[in-house]
């Protein structure tokens, strides 16, 4: 577990102190307002706690990819209304990140007030992690709080650099994320199962290679499973598979054998001749009976039941990626069934379940179990890099 300070390490009275808080406000927009406020909900506890303690809170965030130049459509002013709605407080928008305009704005803010600085990526120094740029921002603050785990895999000025110029703390969302991830892979209760799904093995190679040495059960689903089945000599018909990675898949299975990790692949599958909702050619068969003109689109009921039995023997579950083509019925059946089973085990206290990644979050919502698993990470790239066993610069800087 990285050793980091949290808001509990700050004085109870922060009256007049300036808190520079890195948040994630990179919100999906539709018709001029945010279509999903999950990221704002995540930072609310940190921002309001600092405000209630009397700090002047200055939020730092990126919005889109302006590439080091100003774009009016990518100003963080676009999300002010949405953020105010969630926080229930008025924001002062500050069109700079450093310099006299920021200094004047801090003078106008009263203790407990909240300001939002403009898109940090308007300045090339942000993505270059320029120490002078970080220093120019740090000059306005008394301390730095990072509450943007989703940007922690980037070594940028406001995600990593500021921690070298000011006392640094993890915000409540960051703290929850790091605690949950530590309980999932850092220092987990064993046995541990990992569900890794998705279309391509190539995008999850590092994840698989890291996990075989850390978990006792590796459950492979989605299009990735077809590549592993092919590596075991199964004819997968016209299923999505990366035949050039068969040797790599074999090596991963060998490594799993050596480290005492059981790799679970489906032995019955749901196939069809075309990928469409409820196709006429839909059938369930043994993996060795897939015809040349059929594609595997989900795992079958027997395999799903066997995986449910595996989870009953485990204490910890890490989940990234669906088991089948879950966006299209009925190829969501296995993912929905296993998600509900994992949620039930979590609710009865026998399983710690941590899930992350866009498709996984969507699948758990579709299964209606979002509130029933231990923790859901909304961070895409950072969650994946953590599963790959990589050090995240934004996290490492907090424990420096």
Q: Evaluate whether 171 touches 147 at the Cβ level (below 8 Å).
A: yes
39 catalytic? Reply is yes
Quick one: pLDDT at residue 1?
Answer: 56
Q: Which of 176, 200, 273, 315 is catalytic?
A: 200
3-state secondary structure of 336: helix
Closest C-alpha to 212, from 200, 204, 222, 203: 204
Closest C-alpha to 76, from 99, 88, 87, 60: 60
DSSP code string of 71-138: -GGG-GGGGHHHHHHHHTS-EEEES-SSSHHHHHHHHHPPTT-EEEE--GGGSHHHHTT-HHHHHHHH
381 catalytic? Reply is yes
Q: Which sign, positive or negative, has the C-alpha torsion 159, 161, 163, 166? A: negative
User: Which residues are registered as beta bridge partners of 271?
Assistant: 283, 296
Quick count: other Cβ atoms within 10 Å of Cβ 189? 12
- From residue 309, give the alpha-carbon distance in Å to each of 193, 305, 312, 314, 336: 12, 6, 5, 9, 15
Residue 273, both tokens: 């001749």
- From residue 47, give the alpha-carbon distance in Å to each of 77, 128, 216, 219, 260: 18, 27, 39, 39, 45
Residue 183, both tokens: 């309980």
Exposure string of 296-310, with b = 16+ CB inside 10 Å and e = fewer, is bbbbbeebbebbbeb
The residue behind tokens 């000059």 is 139
Distance CA 157, CA 393 (A): 11
Q: Evaluate whether 197 touches 221 at the Cβ level (below 8 Å).
A: yes
- Tell me how far apart the 2 most distant CA atoms of the chain are, in Å: 73
Q: Which helix (H) or strand (E) holds 387?
A: helix 381-387
Strand arrangement, sheet containing 56-60: 91-94, 114-117, 56-60, 18-22, 143-146, 168-170
Residue 204, both tokens: 């999850």
Q: Mean pLDDT for each 10-residue chunk of the chain (400 residues)?
A: 86 97 94 89 97 98 95 96 97 98 98 98 97 98 96 95 97 94 90 94 92 96 95 96 96 97 96 95 97 97 97 97 94 96 98 90 92 90 89 89
The DSSP bridge pattern shows strands 33-34 and 143-146 to be: unpaired
Q: Evaluate whether 183 touches 316 at the Cβ level (below 8 Å).
A: yes
Q: Say if residue 2 is exposed, middle or buried (CB neighbours under 10 Å; 0-12, 13-18, 19+).
A: middle
Q: Which of 64, 237, 380, 381 is catalytic?
A: 381
3-state secondary structure of 246: helix
Quick one: pLDDT at residue 3?
Answer: 82
Q: Which of 39, 56, 121, 154 is catalytic?
A: 39
53 catalytic? Reply is no
Q: What are phi and psi of 45, to 5 degrees?
A: -60, -40
Closest C-alpha to 75, from 128, 39, 44, 32: 32
Q: Which of 67, 85, 260, 358 is catalytic?
A: 358
Quick one: pLDDT at residue 352?
Answer: 96
Q: What are phi and psi of 297, to 5 degrees?
A: -120, -10
Classify residue 391 by its DSSP letter.
P
The DSSP bridge pattern shows strands 143-146 and 114-117 to be: unpaired
Quick one: pLDDT at residue 381?
Answer: 84
Rg of the Cα atoms in the chain: 23
3-state secondary structure of 319: strand
Residues written for the chain: 400
């Amino acid at each position: 577990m990285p050793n980091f300070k949290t808001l509990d390490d700050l004085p109870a009275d922060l009256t007049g102190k300036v808190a520079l808080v890195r948040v994630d406000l990179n919100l999906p927009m539709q018709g001029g307002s945010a279509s999903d406020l999950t990221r704002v909900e995540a930072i609310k506890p940190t921002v309001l706690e600092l405000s209630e303690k009397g700090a002047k809170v200055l939020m730092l965030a990126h919005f889109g990819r302006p590439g080091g130049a100003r774009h009016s459509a990518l100003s963080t002013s676009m999300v002010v209304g949405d953020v105010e709605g969630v926080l229930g407080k008025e924001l002062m928008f500050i069109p700079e990140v450093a310099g006299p305009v920021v200094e004047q704005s801090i003078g106008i803010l009263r203790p407990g007030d909240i300001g939002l600085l403009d898109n940090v990526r308007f300045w090339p120094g942000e993505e270059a992690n320029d120490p002078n740029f970080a220093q120019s921002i740090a000059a306005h603050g008394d301390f730095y709080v990072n509450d943007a785990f989703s940007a922690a895999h980037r070594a940028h000025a406001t995600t990593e650099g500021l921690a070298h110029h000011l006392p640094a703390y993890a915000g409540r969302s960051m703290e929850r994320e790091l605690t949950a991830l530590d309980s999932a892979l850092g220092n987990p209760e064993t046995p541990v199962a990992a569900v890794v799904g998705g279309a391509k093995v190539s995008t999850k190679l590092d994840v698989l290679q890291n996990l075989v040495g850390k978990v006792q059960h590796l459950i492979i689903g989605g299009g990735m499973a077809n590549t592993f089945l092919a590596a075991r000599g199964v004819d997968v018909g016209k299923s999505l598979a990366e035949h050039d990675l068969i040797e790599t898949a074999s090596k991963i299975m060998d490594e799993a054998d050596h480290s005492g990790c059981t790799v679970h692949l489906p032995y019955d599958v749901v196939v069809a001749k075309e990928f469409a909702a409820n196709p006429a050619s839909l059938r369930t068969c043994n993996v060795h009976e897939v015809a040349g003109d059929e594609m595997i689109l989900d795992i079958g009921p027997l395999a799903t039941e066997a995986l449910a039995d595996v989870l009953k023997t485990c204490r910890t579950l890490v989940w990234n990626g669906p088991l089948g083509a879950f966006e299209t019925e009925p190829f969501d059946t296995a993912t929905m069934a296993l998600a509900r089973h994992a949620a039930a085990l979590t609710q009865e206290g026998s399983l710690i379940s941590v899930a992350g990644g866009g498709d996984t979050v969507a699948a758990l919502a579709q299964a209606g179990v979002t509130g029933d698993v231990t923790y859901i990470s909304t961070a895409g790239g950072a969650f994946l890099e953590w599963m790959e066993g990589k050090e995240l610069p934004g996290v490492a800087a907090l424990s420096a």
